Structure 1
Amino acid sequence: MTAARGHESARRLDAGDLGGPLGERATLVQFSSAFCQPCRATRRVLADVAAMVPGVAHVEIDAEGALGLVRELGVDKTPTVLVLDRAGRVVRRAAGQPRKADVIAALGAAV
């Protein structure tokens, strides 16, 4: 997972943006689309990590249903995963299916 780029890290996301609450310590945000096979595997990985790490939430967003947010954040493919800190700032991002170890490591930048 890579560090967030300039304008993204200044933008704070909240429950209204995500359609679900932020985690107490960090939030894993997944942008998905209906027919995306890697999105299903990514959902399992992120749900597993969120269940393992206290205070971490996993929120999945349908990219087609949130085009304004997709454009604002520069999401150009699915799955895209954002790691948010407790304040909702993007601290890491990755496109494609992540490995569980990489997600856990990326959480270190958020908590």
Structure 2
Amino acid sequence: MGETVRPDDLGADLGEKATLLQFSSAFCAPCRATRRILGEVSDMVEGVAHVELDAEAHLDLVRRLKIVRTPTVLVLDEAGRVVRRATGAPRKPDVIAALGEAIP
């Protein structure tokens, strides 16, 4: 995918090992379920951060990363490189599998 996200893009630190970056919008019901799932996974896996951004408040980043719907989740490695992306509410096993690609 090649795109890199920096802490100053997020207004938050990247995870020590990986970051689950969630783009949400105010009236998005699947975004709430996604927030819960990603929060549970980041609590389970040491060194993984979950960062949720309001897509409307981060339009430059949304355009740069070609985010077209919410929720969109990007899995970032420790350097902020996008290694996986998915739209819609994810399943917990899929998130854990995607982290396996990001964490060496």
TM-score class, shorter-chain normalisation, is: over 0.9
Q: Within 5 A, what are the aligned runs for 1:25-104?
A: 25-104=17-96
User: Which shifted more, 79-88 or 13-22?
Assistant: 13-22
Q: CA deviation at 1:18?
A: 1.1
CA distance in 1 between counterparts of 2:62 and 2:3 reads 13
2:16 equivalent among 15, 24, 35: 24
CA distance in 1 between counterparts of 2:74 and 2:49 reads 12
CA distance in 2 between counterparts of 1:42 and 1:13 reads 20
Q: Read off the aligned partner of 1:39 and give its amino acid letter.
A: C
For each residue in 1:58-86, what CA deviation from the matched residue of structure 2 results, as whole angstroms up to 9, or x when unmatched? 00000000011101101000000000000
Q: CA RMSD in A?
A: 0.6
Count of residues paired in the alignment = 103
CA distance in 2 between counterparts of 1:94 and 1:10 reads 16
CA distance in 1 between counterparts of 2:7 and 2:35 reads 19
CA distance in 2 between counterparts of 1:69 and 1:13 reads 9
TM-score (norm 1): 0.91
2:98 is aligned to 106
For each residue in 1:13-56, what CA deviation from the matched residue of structure 2 results, as whole angstroms up to 9, or x when unmatched? 11111111100000000000000000000000000000000000
Q: Percent identity over the alignment?
A: 67
